[in-house]
């Protein structure tokens, strides 16, 4: 049976704006709900109660609260990080599927994280005098593969910043 699963993520509530921007950039057709009070509803399988979240991405029928639409929610935790919540088994829309055909929380976090990191870097470069002069020279969808210590291929999104 389908059910909600909540997993920890690398996203932090100190950088909510950067996370929301990343979600909007990744899924321009989706509706992103933001609730300071944490009352945005993350919809899932019919028969279950929707979950309350601080940020929710709605891929289908954003204006109805009916279950049977599969959203991805973000909940602030006591340590300031966000957990991600969804009915991951059922949230298999093409938008929530990565370039390797994978769905689920790992795939979705991996899709969001490069954009989130890029937004964080943009904020850091803007705020910090020591980093004055660095320009973002990242290419879009620049994926590199490296071997880990066990010889397994690991894929990374590459962000690059240059100062002449």
123 lies in the site for other proteins, by CB under 8 A: yes
128 lies in the site for other proteins, by CB under 8 A: yes
Q: In what order do the strands lie in the sheet with 81-86?
A: 5-12, 81-86, 72-76, 55-58, 31-34
100 lies in the site for other proteins, by CB under 8 A: yes
Write down the least CB distance from residue 87 to other proteins, Å. 19
**Quick one: 49 or 150, whose CB is closer to other proteins?**
150
Go through the chain and tell me how many residues it has.
164
CA 48, CA 79: separation in Å to the nearest integer? 28
CB 45, CB 2: distance < 8 Å? yes
Number of residues that bind other proteins (CB under 8 A): 39
CB 130, CB 141: distance < 8 Å? no
Query: Judged by CB under 8 A, which of 126, 139, 140, 146 binds other proteins?
Result: 146
CA angle 27, 31, 34 (to 5 degrees): 110
Side-chain half-sphere CA neighbours of 42 within 13 A: 27
66 lies in the site for other proteins, by CB under 8 A: no
User: 16-26 and 105-127 helices cross at what angle (nearest 10)?
Assistant: 120
Stretch that binds other proteins, among 34-42, 63-71, 72-80, 114-122 (CB under 8 A): 114-122
131 lies in the site for other proteins, by CB under 8 A: yes
134 lies in the site for other proteins, by CB under 8 A: yes
Stretch that binds other proteins, among 33-41, 57-65, 66-74, 140-148 (CB under 8 A): 140-148
77 lies in the site for other proteins, by CB under 8 A: no
Q: How many CB atoms lie within 10 A of CB 72?
A: 28
Binding site for other proteins (CB under 8 A): 8-10, 12, 15, 98, 100, 102, 106-107, 109-111, 113-114, 117, 120-121, 123-124, 128, 130-131, 134, 143-144, 146, 148, 154-164
């Amino acid at each position: 049976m389908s059910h909600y699963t909540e997993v920890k993520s690398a996203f932090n509530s100190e950088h909510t704006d950067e996370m929301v921007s990343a979600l909007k950039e990744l899924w321009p057709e989706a509706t992103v709900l933001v609730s300071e009070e944490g009352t945005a509803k993350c919809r899932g399988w019919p028969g279950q109660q929707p979950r309350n979240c601080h940020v929710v991405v709605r891929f289908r029928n954003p204006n109805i609260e009916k279950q049977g639409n599969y959203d991805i929610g973000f909940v602030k935790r006591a340590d300031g990080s966000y957990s991600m919540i969804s009915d991951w088994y059922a949230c298999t829309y093409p938008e929530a599927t990565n370039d390797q055909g994978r769905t689920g929380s790992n795939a979705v976090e991996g899709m969001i994280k490069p954009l989130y990191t890029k937004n964080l870097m943009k904020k850091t470069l803007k705020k910090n005098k020591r980093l004055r002069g660095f320009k973002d020279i990242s290419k879009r969808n620049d994926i590199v593969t490296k071997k880990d210590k066990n010889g397994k291929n690991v894929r990374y999104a590459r962000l690059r910043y240059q100062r002449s």
